[in-house]
Amino acid sequence: MPQLRRLIALLAAFPLLSRALPATKYVETTPLPLVIWHGLGDSYQADGIMEVAQLAEEVNPGTYVYIIHLDDSDNGDRQATFFGNVTEQITQVCEQLASEPILSTAPAVNALGFSQGGQFLRAFVEKCNFPQVHNLVTMGSQHNGIFKFQSCDSSGDWVCRGAEALLRFGRWSDFVQSRLVPAQYFRDSNEYDSYLKHSNFLADINNEREEKNEAYKSNLLSLNRFGMFMFANDTVAVPKESAWFAEVNQLSGEITTLRERSLYTEDWLGLRALDEQGKLDFETIPGQHMELTDKLLTDVFTEYFGPVEVPDDVAALPPSLVKQGM
């Protein structure tokens, strides 16, 4: 009987307890800020990138769009897509985004990476992730590297031609690996030992070396969604399946999907955990590399970058508590 009386008293107290705990109120806000990183040969002031930013604002009114740049000048930013130390560039972007007032005070941001900008944004998430990224979308990005370098569009493009000349110097040399951007995500499974030993960027950010960086995995696991888009007829980013972290043997053409790789089964980066939680999306885009239509982008912006709901007292909560309001 004493136990029964205590149980009755406890149940009677429940309404009082619920009234004592304030209910969390959610209010719809403007969309989270959107960070964009462009690809090789592009610049932050290019017409195409500016049109993408404008469309993002039109699809989700109130979106603050920030375009990453490695130089204030248009030419300098484009040149930095070919030449520079990628690891140092990521550090520069970490400092750039953290010092931007609107981004650094937002509850979280969304991120969109085109081509090489996609794996660079993933590196940002893994290495620093402040401001914290909510949804990450990459388009035609070389997450598992390339085994063929992109040809220059014009014989008069001296920046691109200079990059080609450096490649002939030797892709695994320390000189090239610290200066030529595409070489730093070159990965040929038939030269795997050389890649592991000399890769300045990709081998590290993919946690492929024996010593794993647990922070990379922890930070990537904080994503709400990771959308990976592959161009169906991509002949520029080779192999195209790299956009889905697949491995392709250059000699045999054999494809090893992400889910068949140790990267996934041993979960070096948290991709398996994201996949099992339904947060990892494998999407296909029709056409050639970076052939994007307004309709496609509109669908992506609606699906991944729409308005969110946050608690009234958002300042007291970490970005991980932001919930998608779609």
Catalytic residues: 115, 234, 289
Pairing assessment for the beta strands 26-28 and 308-311 based on DSSP bridges? antiparallel
49 neighbors 38 (Cβ within 8 angstroms): yes
* Strand, helix or coil for residue 185: helix
Q: Is 230 in contact with 144 (CB distance < 8 Å)?
A: no
> CA dihedral defined by 247, 227, 177, 289, rounded to 10 degrees?
80
Number of H helices, E strands in the chain: 14, 11
Residue 130 identity (one-letter amino acid): F
Measure the CA–CA gap between 280 and 271, rounded to whole angstroms.
7
In whole angstroms, give the CA distance from residue 261 to residue 239. 16
Burial of 100 (0-12, 13-18, 19+ CB in 10 A): middle
